């Protein structure tokens, strides 16, 4: 049985049972997604570890990348199993990566992924103390700078119908934010009114 959700702006949280797939699909065009992840059984203590996932995958998320927690025993909590392929990946560009989230202050009060997360996780009894940079960024095109450390934003290659799919290894709580920047290169920087809708599918 497949559950589908359409998200048009702001944030949305949902549950993914163990051994299920969860797919993010763009319905109209480029839209950056910030995604935060917790273990459903013990979300206060077990959540995506950005540091260990970085260690195991470098900075990018692509087909085959594993997402890790590190509560007591480090373990894989999800894996990327499929994605849209982009020609620019051959030139070293990332389209999905490990990165943090924007907040209201840097966005001058025009909405943020942090606020979207916090509003959407209330129903699970979670708050700001449970938001631990446990995030990945999807459909955000970047390329390593010449110094090998910084990441430079590039104009998105994403289009309607593009997707990325993960498989859960434990029961998960997922929060997704439609980033109000939409795409860092274009003129709609930090304007949630220009968010483009996405579809989320959860299935075995």
Q: What is the pLDDT of residue 93?
A: 87
Specify which residues 79 forms β-bridges with: 66, 167
At residue 192, the 3 state secondary structure works out as helix
- 147 CB-contact burial (10 Å; exposed 0-12 / middle 13-18 / buried 19+): exposed
Place of tokens 């995506």: 48
Total residues found in the chain within this entry: 204
Q: pLDDT (tens digit, 0 to 9) for every residue of the chain, 204 residues total?
A: 899 999 999 999 999 999 999 999 999 999 999 999 999 999 999 999 999 999 998 889 999 999 999 999 999 999 999 999 998 888 888 899 998 898 887 766 678 899 999 999 999 999 999 998 899 999 998 888 877 678 888 888 899 999 999 999 999 999 999 998 766 665 445 677 788 999 999 999
Backbone angles phi, psi at 126, to 5 degrees: -105, 150
Sheet holding 75-83, edge to edge: 3-7, 198-203, 21-26, 163-168, 75-83, 66-69
Specify which residues 135 forms β-bridges with: 36
Q: CA Rg, the chain, in Å?
A: 16
Can you give the pTM of this predicted structure?
0.93
């Amino acid at each position: 049985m497949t559950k589908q959700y359409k998200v048009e702006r702001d944030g949305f949280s949902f549950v993914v049972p163990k051994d299920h797939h969860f797919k993010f699909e763009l319905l109209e065009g480029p839209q950056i997604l910030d995604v935060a992840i917790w273990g459903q059984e013990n979300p206060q203590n077990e959540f995506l570890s950005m540091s260990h996932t970085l260690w195991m995958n470098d900075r990018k998320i692509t087909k085959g990348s594993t997402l890790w927690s590190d509560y007591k025993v480090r373990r894989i909590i999800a894996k990327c199993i499929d994605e849209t392929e982009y020609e620019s990946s051959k030139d070293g560009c990332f389209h999905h990566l490990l990165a943090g989230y924007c907040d209201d202050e840097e966005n001058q009060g025009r909405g943020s992924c942090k606020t979207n997360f916090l509003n959407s996780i209330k129903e699970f009894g979670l708050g700001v103390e449970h938001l631990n940079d446990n995030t990945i960024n999807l459909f955000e095109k970047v390329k390593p700078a010449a110094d090998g450390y910084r990441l430079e934003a590039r104009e998105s290659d994403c289009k309607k119908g593009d997707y990325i799919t993960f498989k859960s290894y434990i029961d998960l709580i997922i929060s997704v934010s439609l980033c109000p920047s939409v795409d860092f290169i274009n003129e709609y920087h930090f304007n949630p009114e220009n968010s483009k809708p996405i579809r989320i599918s959860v299935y075995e």
